[in-house]
Structure 1
Amino acid sequence: MNAASRDARVDAMYSRDKFAAYICVVAVWAVYLFIFWRMADHIAASGLTALMLVLASLVLLLNTAAVVALIRHYREDRAAIYGTDIYYLDRIAAERRARS
């Protein structure tokens, strides 16, 4: 496999992983917002609205920061991370071709 083909595959894998990570962050935010919206009356009745807002904000902030850091790490070291995946995917494909 030539370097250009390998780089294109690495870029494609990185793009898919980055997209999936962003979708997961959006889903977590949506779930938290939906749950807070549905539970707002119960939370208010117990007098914990401010606490729940602070705690949920911290969880969302830390989760988002972790995903951003993960994407940054993948971008910086994508040749090593995805190169290994490509190597084994190519070996699996070669073995399948050899069997058939």
Structure 2
Amino acid sequence: MKTFEARIDSLLRRDRILAVAFAVAMWVVLVFVCAVALTTSPSPSISVALVVAAILLGGFNTASVAAMVRRYRLSKESVYGPDIEFSDRLREARQQARNAKRGSAS
């Protein structure tokens, strides 16, 4: 079994990949919605407002995802430690239940 630190690093890496994937997906959706909405925009000023709003929304959401990943990296033991400990206890309880079931079945 991997060490506690290696398991934390693995969870952090997975969360970082998911955060980047969600941010990229958000930008793809924003660009698509903006492109479709621009074709039906009644005036250039509304088009400008739409583009500015999309950029602000995407920028703030991307910044919040980056801040979340940075915060998780800085306090990874307190973020992931309880999850790993609970997972270990649950795995141990399931193993004991399986062993008890095998023992009573024979």
TM-score (norm 1): 0.91
**Matching residue's letter, 1:59:** L
**Matching residue's letter, 1:70:** M
Distance across 1 between alignment mates of 2:39 and 2:30: 15
Gaps of 5+ in 2: 99-106
What is the aligned-residue RMSD (CA, Å)?
1.4
**Matching residue's letter, 1:81:** V
**Could you tell me which residue of structure 1 aligns to residue 58 of structure 2?**
60
Q: Is the aligned partner of 1:40 residue 2:38?
A: yes
Distance across 1 between alignment mates of 2:15 and 2:73: 10
**Could you tell me which residue of structure 2 aligns to residue 71 of structure 1?**
69
**Could you tell me which residue of structure 2 aligns to residue 87 of structure 1?**
85
TM-score (norm 2): 0.86
Highest relative contact order (Cα 8 Å, sep 6+), 1 or 2? 1
Q: Percent identity?
A: 32
Distance across 1 between alignment mates of 2:49 and 2:94: 56
**Matching residue's letter, 2:89:** R
**How far does the alpha carbon of each residue in 1:1-54 deviate from its partner, in whole angstroms, 9 at most, with x for none?**
8xx7000000000000000000000000000111112222112x2441000011
Distance across 2 between alignment mates of 1:34 and 1:96: 47
